[in-house]
């Protein structure tokens, strides 16, 4: 019977030959998933024989990865802000860069937060998990994404403090909020072809691009702020690395103050934040 270590070695070779970056990391995650254990425990079991069921599960996972399906979709989960979130083909894969938005939001007090285009709910639910007195509303145009977000709320035990609503941006939203956050679709139409296959072929295009110049979501968000943002409330949105100046200009034109472009750990523009003036 094949040992887990031998299966892992062969998987790394196959993934590497297919041109997949981080092949050793992906192979370890997929093998741990097939064995039903955390990846950090895999080393302890590499000398164990790989049973028939586990071998079949590992081979299916490898085949999916060789077809460039993201690891998070294969395993069904992704770590974000130190917590595990369910991921499906109906949602974006939560990315480490988005944690910049969460950190910026948590730097100030808030009680009621609105997440526009919530997807997995990773931003909203991370904020609520770290602020046990806060409540929130997550909206999305995808019923399937909202179902994933609701499941993630249950995982994090914040269901009683969050609502999810089918809405095209602010269309079905009422009531003011002192924090509005969003990671909207921002990839320009002419940039889609250059995306990696994992993103272009497997993640929902509705969550990736609004078409055109990639800025339409920010126009919709800034146009709807006035009746939904409390005096002294904050808005923070994720952006593409070339969009900082354009989105900051929109925020200022909408009357926001203290408009700031925030970098990620690689020094690229990642978020734009602004504050509504006092009443």
Q: Note the pLDDT of residue 2.
A: 85
Please state the rounded mean pLDDT for residues 11-16.
98
Sequence ranges of the domains in the chain: 4-67, 81-275
Q: Note the pLDDT of residue 150.
A: 98
Q: Note the pLDDT of residue 1.
A: 66
CATH architecture label of 81-275? 3-Layer(aba) Sandwich (3.40)
279 pLDDT more than 80: no
Q: Note the pLDDT of residue 162.
A: 98
Q: What is the pLDDT of residues 179-216, one digit of tens each?
A: 999 999 999 999 999 999 999 999 999 999 999 999 99
Q: Note the pLDDT of residue 153.
A: 98
Band (pLDDT 50/70/90 cuts) for residue 78 is very high
Q: What is the pLDDT of residues 150-182, one digit of tens each?
A: 999 999 999 999 999 999 999 999 989 999 999
126 pLDDT more than 80: yes
Query: pTM score, two decimals?
Result: 0.94
262 pLDDT more than 90: yes
119 pLDDT more than 80: yes
Share of the chain above pLDDT 90, in %: 97
Q: CB under 8 Å to 173, separation ≥6 — which residues?
A: 114, 137, 139, 165, 167, 228
Q: Note the pLDDT of residue 142.
A: 97
Please state the rounded mean pLDDT for residues 7-21.
97
Band (pLDDT 50/70/90 cuts) for residue 220 is very high
């Amino acid at each position: 019977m094949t040992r887990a270590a031998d299966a892992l070695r062969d998987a790394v070779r196959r993934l590497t030959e297919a041109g997949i970056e981080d092949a050793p990391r992906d192979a370890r995650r997929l093998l741990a998933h097939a064995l039903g254990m955390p990846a950090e425990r895999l080393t302890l079991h590499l000398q164990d024989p790989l049973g028939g069921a586990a071998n079949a599960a590992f081979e299916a996972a490898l085949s999916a990865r060789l077809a460039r399906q993201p690891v998070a979709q294969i395993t069904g989960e992704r770590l974000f802000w130190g917590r595990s979130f369910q991921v499906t083909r109906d949602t974006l894969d939560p990315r480490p860069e988005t944690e910049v938005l969460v950190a910026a939001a948590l730097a100030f007090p808030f009680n009621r937060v609105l997440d526009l285009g919530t997807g997995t709910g990773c931003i909203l639910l991370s904020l609520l998990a770290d602020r046990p007195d806060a409540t929130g509303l997550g909206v999305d145009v995808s019923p399937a994404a909202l179902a994933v977000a609701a499941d993630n709320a249950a995982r994090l035990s914040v269901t009683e403090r969050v609502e999810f609503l089918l809405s095209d941006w602010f269309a079905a939203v009422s009531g003011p909020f002192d924090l509005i956050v969003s990671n909207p679709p921002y990839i320009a139409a002419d940039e889609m072809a250059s995306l990696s296959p994992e993103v272009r072929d497997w993640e929902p295009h509705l969550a990736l691009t609004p078409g055109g110049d990639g800025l339409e979501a920010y126009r919709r968000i800034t146009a709807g702020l006035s009746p939904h943002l409390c005096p002294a409330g904050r808005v923070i949105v994720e952006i593409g690395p070339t969009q900082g100046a354009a989105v900051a200009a929109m925020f200022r034109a909408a009357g926001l103050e203290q408009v700031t472009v925030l970098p990620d750990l690689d020094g690229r523009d990642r978020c734009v934040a602004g504050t509504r003036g006092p009443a």
